[in-house]
Chain A
Amino acid sequence: MGSGDVLKTAEKLKNINKRALIAVAVCVALIVGIIVFDSVRNSREYQTTAIAMGTVINLRLFGPDGKENAELVIENINETEKALLSRNEKNSDIYRINANPGTAVSVSAETADIISKSVDVAKNCGGVFDITVGEVTKLWDFGGDKQRLPTEKEITEKLSDVRYSAIKVTNTTVRIAEGQTLDLGAVGKGAACDRVKALLSATNTDSAVISVGGSLLLYGKKDFNIGIVNPENDLASMGTLKLSDTFVSTSGNYEKFFEQDGKTYHHILDATTGYPADSRLSSITVICDSGLLSDALSTACYILGYNQSIELLNEYDAQAVFVFKNKTVRVTDGIKDSFTLTDESFVVAK
């Protein structure tokens, strides 16, 4: 063994190490590349706006196959309207129930469940929210051609048929009494959101935020900043909520209304009086783990007002943001930390 051999071996070792180093570097680069590629792929967003259920649907999906999944969502919402909830589609569950009062009509388990839960909310809120309010809603015809202030006599007459207790629900059948009409307008969008969530669970979507006419589904682990619309000016939000994996619904007096003889009549009817609810609130936003419930509760709580809503919300483990007509804001404890006021003309009550 001479010094020459040592040098040669040293050279060889150096070369091997260099080669190994390069090989490792390339592998690391490829692995990092694949990881980045995969995470970027999953944060891929697909956004679109569509019309379904007579309203504007905004979709933002994160993850693979955004476009395809978005199409499935729209299809699903149309299906909800057509097969379950529509008052006009001849074969929808609701249509058939309304067309056959006094009979136990066979419906899908989902519709039966929706009605059953709605009756439950009606019970717990003293009937101010009641899905049998259909005949009274027809009198007012908010947003329709025959929109008007009905006479007291008309309202009293139709009000006698507004009785949630007359609904008989089983797992697969629903029966209403003669003279009754079901109107699921107050919960339809939330119910659609529930079905969309079930649909998305069966797809490869990572997360999504979907608005069905203002009722939101937050799907997946991703946090979203949800804006609460300023009741005075629907261009801007007056506050934001940081939420994930939940449902959000808002009831407000600014959405559908008309003026007659100097008075404003908004579309949230108190089912016990047949008239628009006399509330100190301009809007209430309810956050709950069910779309149907968040919709129903937002309507019920708007009518009940702040004090009487707290108990109802607790019963359903729901949170809410109350926006009063005097621009005060009250936030329930569960989401106090998630709410940020963005419009200083409003005041958050302590």
Chain B
Amino acid sequence: MNTKKSKTKTIAFLGIMGALALSLSFLESLIPPLPGLPPGAKPGLSNVVTMFLASSSGVGSAFAITFFKAAFAGITRGTTAMLMSAAGGLLSTLAACILLRSKKIKFGYIGIGIICAVCHNIGQLTVACILSGTWALITGYGPLLMLFAVATGFVTGTTLKLVLPALDKIINRI
């Protein structure tokens, strides 16, 4: 195996995945804040990318994109955004890695999407509480955020299942 070529391939591949994740994030940012939900709450479609990587590529690449997203958020939107993205992303990617790579855990894509969305929200909520100095946000935003996670998890899980064949092809070609 030509290690130089495979390294280039990996970088190119991660580049594509990163760009994909960022464009999805950007599209989501166009949605105005919803009442009852914290200002940054979004469907998390870019998580489809990390979930795909967790299942078909590797733990390393999944976390690489997660950090990449957080760093990008930090550069473009500031420290708070970076922390929120990092906390939500890490917890969600961790869940994705465990659930998608385990042969024993047989949840459907929708179920996994929901769990990842819930983890994403828990991570962000925790950071929000630490930053604003009060745990009241948990009972304040928590209930609606969890319901929201069921819906978004459904969408991301289903989207993942739909695009998996296409993304797998990309991975196999590279």
A residues neighboring B (CB under 8 Å): 19, 22-23, 25-26, 29-30, 33, 37, 40-41, 43-45
B residues neighboring A (CB under 8 Å): 31-32, 34-36, 43, 151, 154-155, 158-159, 161-162
Find A40's partner among B35, B161, B162 (CB 8 Å cutoff): B35
Complex contacts, B158 vs chain A, CB 8 Å: 22, 25-26, 29
Question: How far apart are the CA atoms of A23 and B161 in the complex, in Å?
Answer: 10
**Can you pick out 21 interface pairs between chain A and chain B where the beta carbons lie within 8 Å of each other?**
A19-B162, A22-B158, A22-B161, A23-B162, A25-B158, A26-B158, A26-B159, A26-B162, A29-B151, A29-B154, A29-B155, A29-B158, A30-B155, A33-B43, A33-B151, A40-B35, A40-B36, A41-B32, A41-B34, A44-B35, A45-B35
Q: Given that A22-B161, A26-B162 are contacting pairs, would A33 and B34 also be in contact in the complex, using a CB cutoff of 8 Å?
A: no
Say yes or no: A37 contacts B155, CB within 8 Å: no
Q: Give 5 nearest A-B pairs by CB, closest first.
A: A44-B35, A26-B158, A29-B155, A29-B154, A40-B34
Question: How far apart are the CA atoms of A40 and B147 in the complex, in Å?
Answer: 14
Question: How far apart are the CA atoms of A307 and B102 in the complex, in Å?
Answer: 83
Main SS class of interface, A: helix
A-B contact count, CB below 8 Å? 29
Nearest chain B residue, comparing its CB with the CB of A36: B151
Residue among B36, B158, B161 facing the most chain A CB atoms (10 A cut-off): B158
Q: Given that A29-B151, A29-B154 are contacting pairs, would A37 and B34 also be in contact in the complex, using a CB cutoff of 8 Å?
A: yes
Complex contacts, A45 vs chain B, CB 8 Å: 35
Question: How far apart are the CA atoms of A37 and B151 in the complex, in Å?
Answer: 12
Complex contacts, A19 vs chain B, CB 8 Å: 162
Nearest chain B residue, comparing its CB with the CB of A25: B158
Chain A: minimal CB distance from B158 (Å): 5
Nearest chain B residue, comparing its CB with the CB of A37: B34
Chain A: minimal CB distance from B106 (Å): 18
Complex contacts, B161 vs chain A, CB 8 Å: 22
Say yes or no: B162 contacts A22, CB within 8 Å: yes
Question: How far apart are the CA atoms of A34 and B161 in the complex, in Å?
Answer: 22
Chain A: minimal CB distance from B169 (Å): 16
Complex contacts, A43 vs chain B, CB 8 Å: 35
Question: How far apart are the CA atoms of A45 and B34 in the complex, in Å?
Answer: 11
Residue among B35, B36, B43 facing the most chain A CB atoms (10 A cut-off): B35
